Amino acid sequence: MPRVAAVQMVSTPDVDANLDSATTLLRRAAAEGAEFALLPEFFAIIGREDTDKLRIQEPFGKGPLQSFLAGQAREHGLWLMGGTIPLESGEPDRVLNSCLLYNPEGECMARYDKIHLFDVSVTAEESYSESRTMMPGADVTVAKTPIGNIGMSVCYDLRFPELYRRMLPQNIDIITVPSAFTETTGRKHWEVLLRSRAIENLSFVIAAAQGGRNTETRTTWGHSMIIDPWGDILGVVEKGPGVVCADIDLEQVRALRQSFPALQHRTLT
């Protein structure tokens, strides 16, 4: 059975410190036997200003953040999914919030650009406008790996079940959700949404989150977790930096889909 890890971080505006933290946590995941590890959204930076990410944007295929991910994958012999990093979009003032998957040789095997952007007012005092500094992606991505077929999503995507339905024809086994959920929305919705996506798609879910005080004005919910296709939580890190690992049995996906064929019973598409 593959052993997978969700890495929880409390990233800050200090890129070097964040990469040092990621290095330590990935070393721990590898020491615990993980073959696959997922970093959270914005693992390299959560700035004081939304525009801070623009200064570290990279062209796809080269740059220090991509080199870091490739090197970590090689060093630890991991399939490594790099949370998200800002990639050039063609517009100087907006980036793509991109999730990259590397094989144990350090080769980039898949890319997903976050489709749904978080433009909301959570409360009267707390609002976000990702589209001001980000461009949305357009393509659904399923990565075929020895660990299983992985449907890639990011944070706010979690609220859009139709995204995951688009993945089902490619026989997904695992859904990944690197995230930076706010503490306000996370407390109410994070676990129930993750478990719902696992149950309705009869898939494992690996969710790696930001979890703590990132800046003076931003706190993230954390509670990184791994969930099985029946909705049971296999492990969780509640707050602060940490790693949660679990063995996942892909035969459980196949057995459940055969004995409980809800996916075959769909009549609305």
- Residues assigned a catalytic role: 41, 114, 155
Are the C-beta atoms of 190 and 201 separated by less than 8 Å? Answer: no
Q: Give the H or E element holding residue 72.
A: helix 64-76
* C-alpha span between 12 and 214 (Å, rounded): 5
**Spatial separation of the C-alpha atoms in residues 56 and 35, rounded to whole Å:** 29
Contacts 24+ apart (CB under 8 A), 19-26: 19/44, 19/68, 21/241, 22/68, 22/72, 23/72, 25/241, 25/242, 25/243, 26/72, 26/76, 26/78, 26/80
State the number of CA atoms in the 13 A half-sphere of 171 facing the CB. 6
